[in-house]
Copies of this chain bind each other. A is one copy, B any other.
Amino acid sequence: MRNLNEENVTDAVLGKLENCADPRLKDVVASLVRHLHGFIREVEPTEEEWLAGIRFLTEVGQKCDDKRQEYILLSDTLGASILMDAINHRISEGATESSVLGPFYREGAPVMESGASTAGDTQGEVVTFRGRVHAPDGRPIEGAMLDVWQTAPNGLYEVQDPDQPDFNLRGKFSTDADGTYEIRTVKPVSYSIPDDGPVGKLLKAVGRHTFRPAHVHFIVSAEGYEPVVTQLFTEGDEYLESDAVFGVKNSLVVPYQRRNGGHLVEYDFGLRPIA
**CA A205 to CA B44, docked complex, whole Å:** 30
Interface centre among A17, A26, A80 (most CB of B within 10 A): A80
Determine which of B13, B17, B36, B206 lies in contact with A25 in the assembled complex, contact meaning CB atoms within 8 Å.
B206
> A258 on the interface (CB 8 Å rule)?
no
> A112 on the interface (CB 8 Å rule)?
no
Tell me if A43 and B27 are in contact (CB < 8 A): yes
> A163 on the interface (CB 8 Å rule)?
no
Interface centre among A40, A202, A242 (most CB of B within 10 A): A40
- A residues near B (Cβ < 8 Å) are 1-6, 9-10, 12-13, 16-22, 25-29, 31-33, 35-47, 49-50, 54, 57-62, 64, 69, 71-72, 75, 78-84, 86-88, 90, 202, 205-208, 240-243, 246, 248-250, 253
**CA A22 to CA B66, docked complex, whole Å:** 34
Q: Smallest CB–CB gap between A107 and chain B, Å?
A: 13
Q: Smallest CB–CB gap between A237 and chain B, Å?
A: 12
Residue of B whose beta carbon sits closest to that of A60: B61
Interfacial chain B residues near A86, Cβ < 8 Å: 4-6, 9
**CA A61 to CA B65, docked complex, whole Å:** 11
Interface centre among A16, A41, A42, A250 (most CB of B within 10 A): A16
Tell me if B84 and A41 are in contact (CB < 8 A): no
Tell me if A1 and B40 are in contact (CB < 8 A): no
24 contacts between A and B (CB under 8 A): A2-B249, A3-B249, A4-B86, A6-B86, A6-B87, A12-B246, A16-B242, A18-B207, A20-B205, A21-B207, A22-B205, A22-B206, A28-B43, A32-B39, A33-B78, A35-B42, A37-B79, A41-B87, A45-B84, A47-B84, A50-B75, A54-B71, A58-B61, A62-B64
